[in-house]
């Protein structure tokens, strides 16, 4: 398939002061778009001016949420070059999500090449200040107008770009986590592992309750026993417990995070034992109280590494140590961002220069 590059005639006003960048509010001048029709396959691939879509009110995505997305970042390096972090992993996971949601897969090489071309054209939008990046959001939606419940026959796949600052307002500042004893995010056999909008919509109600109580995020327990900690919708969780780094196993309810994979690899290099097992909520609470739980942090593309200072479950609220980011958390954050921003070598081949 050819990639058409359309001209841009109107350019957007940029936020010049990069310290004012927030997460996901501003978008660049161009976007990648392609369409799919059953029998014809993917077609009409183009990089065009960023613009709203016209969608039929019966478009299936609007009724049955047949939608998937990805999140990755482009980083500005000290010499001015631009680097992507493990982009092929995101494209692979996009296709895994597509399969789970009965959507057509994309040609991985073509999609990756188109993404790189889009970043090249939008290179000026990659911010320069520490902690900033260009967030990349590949998305696919079902556009066929039809109210029957079945996989659609028409889709739109697109990539939009957003220059971003830190995901949480406080940057690397520790977050407070509410552990929900009632609501659940994902259940075995469900769609928890897929990056599909419905998983995130399902998390909003509990997130709002947590926010009202003064907490930043919700930590989800397993749906069956409501006993084991799983993930925080926007990040995988890691617990530095008894000198080992513990994280939930991948069994269909937890996202197979690319930052999660990178953290596991780095921690192994640091000589730290990894345990992929389900930690109980009691282990987290008691561990914080008796010191067995030394550190806890979330990991995800948007947040990178996000230290946790407090957990609250029912009426029991605990603080981890002095509430400040732990040593291992900071070492992982510094190494990961060092590789991403080109301040450290990349012995793992994670970086793709644009
Ligand atoms: C990401 O980390 O890129 C995500 O997709 C999380 C998001 C929902 C902000």
- pLDDT tens-digit readout, 44-54: 999 999 999 99
pLDDT band at 9 (very low <50, low <70, confident <90, very high): very high
CA of 39 to the centre of ligand 1 (A): 33
> Which residue's CA is the closest to the ligand 1 atom numbered 6?
234
Is-contact 28 135, C-beta < 8 A?
A: no
Tokens of 102: 């009965």
DSSP 54: P
> Which residue's CA is the closest to the ligand 1 atom numbered 8?
234
Model confidence pLDDT, tens digit, residues 292-315:
999 999 999 988 999 999 999 998
Taking every pair of C-alpha atoms in the chain, what is the biggest distance, in angstroms?
A: 62
Q: Is 267 exposed, middle or buried (0-12, 13-18, 19+ CB in 10 A)?
A: buried
Q: Is 46 exposed, middle or buried (0-12, 13-18, 19+ CB in 10 A)?
A: middle
CA of 91 to the centre of ligand 1 (A): 15
Model confidence pLDDT, tens digit, residues 80-120:
999 999 999 999 999 999 999 999 999 999 999 999 999 99
Residue that has been written with the tokens 């960023």 in this structure: 50
Q: Measured between alpha carbons, how far is 235 from 252 in angstroms, rounded to an integer? A: 15
pLDDT of residue 131: 87
* Substitution site in 136, 216, 302 for ligand 1 pocket (most atoms within 8 Å of beta carbon): 302
Give the pairing type, strands 41-49 and 30-37.
Answer: antiparallel
Model confidence pLDDT, tens digit, residues 159-216:
999 999 877 665 678 999 999 999 999 999 999 999 999 999 999 999 999 999 999 9
CA of 302 to the centre of ligand 1 (A): 5
pLDDT band at 289 (very low <50, low <70, confident <90, very high): very high
CA of 234 to the centre of ligand 1 (A): 5
Is-contact 97 65, C-beta < 8 A?
A: no
pLDDT of residue 41: 98
pLDDT of residue 52: 97
Q: Measured between alpha carbons, how far is 287 from 320 in angstroms, rounded to an integer? A: 9
Model confidence pLDDT, tens digit, residues 241-269:
999 999 999 989 999 999 999 999 999 99
Locate the ligand 1 atom nearest the alpha carbon of residue 234 and give its number. Answer: 6
Q: In this structure, is the dihedral angle defined by the CA atoms of residues 108, 109, 113 and 119, taken in order, positive or negative?
A: positive
Least-confidence region, from 81-85, 146-150, 233-237, 245-249: 233-237
pLDDT of residue 262: 98
CA of 235 to the centre of ligand 1 (A): 7
Q: Is 270 exposed, middle or buried (0-12, 13-18, 19+ CB in 10 A)?
A: exposed
Q: What is the mean pLDDT of the chain?
A: 95
What's the rounded mean pLDDT across residues 338-354? 96
pLDDT of residue 169: 62
In this structure, how many other beta carbons lie within 10 angstroms of the beta carbon of residue 66?
Answer: 25
Higher pLDDT, 234 or 147: 147
CA of 20 to the centre of ligand 1 (A): 20
Task: Give percent above pLDDT 70 in the chain.
Answer: 99
CA of 71 to the centre of ligand 1 (A): 6
Residue 233 has pLDDT above 90, yes or no: no
Is-contact 305 340, C-beta < 8 A?
A: no
pLDDT of residue 95: 98
> Which residue's CA is the closest to the ligand 1 atom numbered 5?
71
pLDDT of residue 16: 82
Is-contact 56 107, C-beta < 8 A?
A: no
Distance of alpha carbon 120 from the chain centroid: 22
CA of 69 to the centre of ligand 1 (A): 9
DSSP 62: H
Cβ < 6 Å from ligand 1: which residues? 71, 200, 234, 300-302
pLDDT of residue 267: 98
pLDDT of residue 23: 87
CA of 186 to the centre of ligand 1 (A): 16
Tokens of 63: 């009724």
pLDDT of residue 302: 86
Locate the ligand 1 atom nearest the alpha carbon of residue 257 and give its number. Answer: 2
User: Closest by alpha carbon to 36, among 144, 138, 156, 152?
Assistant: 156
> Which residue's CA is the closest to the ligand 1 atom numbered 7?
234
pLDDT of residue 101: 98
Locate the ligand 1 atom nearest the alpha carbon of residue 301 and give its number. Answer: 2
What's the rounded mean pLDDT across residues 278-290? 96
With a CB cutoff of 8 Å and minimum separation 6, the contacts of 212 are: none
Locate the ligand 1 atom nearest the alpha carbon of residue 69 and give its number. Answer: 5
What's the rounded mean pLDDT across residues 271-291? 96
- Give the domains, in start order, of the chain with CATH numbers: 4-164 (3.30.470.10), 175-340 (3.20.10.10)
DSSP 322: T
pLDDT band at 316 (very low <50, low <70, confident <90, very high): very high
Locate the ligand 1 atom nearest the alpha carbon of residue 302 and give its number. Answer: 2
């Amino acid at each position: 398939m050819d990639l058409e590059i359309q001209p841009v005639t109107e350019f957007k006003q940029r936020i010049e002061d990069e310290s004012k960048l927030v997460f996901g509010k501003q978008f660049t001048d161009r976007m990648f778009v392609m369409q799919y029709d059953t029998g014809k396959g993917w077609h009409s691939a183009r990089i065009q001016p960023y613009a709203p879509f016209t969608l039929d009110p019966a478009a299936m995505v609007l009724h049955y949420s047949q939608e998937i997305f990805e999140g990755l970042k482009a980083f500005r390096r000290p010499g001015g070059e631009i680097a992507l972090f493990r982009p092929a992993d995101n494209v692979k996971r996009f296709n895994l999500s597509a399969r789970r949601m009965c959507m057509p897969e994309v040609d991985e090489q073509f999609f990756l090449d188109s993404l790189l071309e889009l970043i090249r054209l939008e290179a000026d939008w990659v911010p320069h200040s520490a902690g900033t990046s260009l967030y990349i959001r590949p998305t696919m939606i079902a556009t066929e107008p039809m109210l029957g419940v079945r996989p659609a026959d028409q889709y739109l796949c697109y990539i939009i770009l957003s220059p971003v600052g830190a995901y949480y307002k406080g940057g690397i500042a520790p977050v407070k986590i509410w552990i929900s004893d009632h609501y659940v995010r994902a259940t075995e056999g469900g769609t928890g592992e897929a990056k599909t909008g419905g998983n995130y919509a399902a998390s909003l109600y509990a997130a709002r309750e947590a926010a009202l109580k003064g907490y930043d995020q919700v930590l989800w327990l397993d749906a069956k026993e409501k006993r084991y900690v799983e993930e925080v919708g926007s990040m995988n969780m890691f617990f530095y417990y008894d000198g080992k780094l513990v994280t939930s196993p991948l069994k269909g309810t937890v996202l197979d995070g690319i930052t999660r994979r990178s953290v596991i690899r780095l921690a192994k290099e640091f000589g730290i034992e990894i345990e992929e097992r389900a930690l109980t909520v009691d282990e987290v609470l008691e561990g914080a109280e008796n010191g067995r739980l030394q550190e806890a942090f979330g990991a995800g593309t948007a947040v990178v590494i996000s230290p946790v200072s407090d957990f609250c479950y029912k009426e029991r609220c605990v603080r981890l140590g002095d509430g400040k980011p732990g040593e291992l958390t900071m070492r992982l954050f510094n190494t990961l961002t060092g590789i991403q921003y080109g301040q450290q070598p990349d012995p793992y081949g994670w970086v793709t220069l644009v």
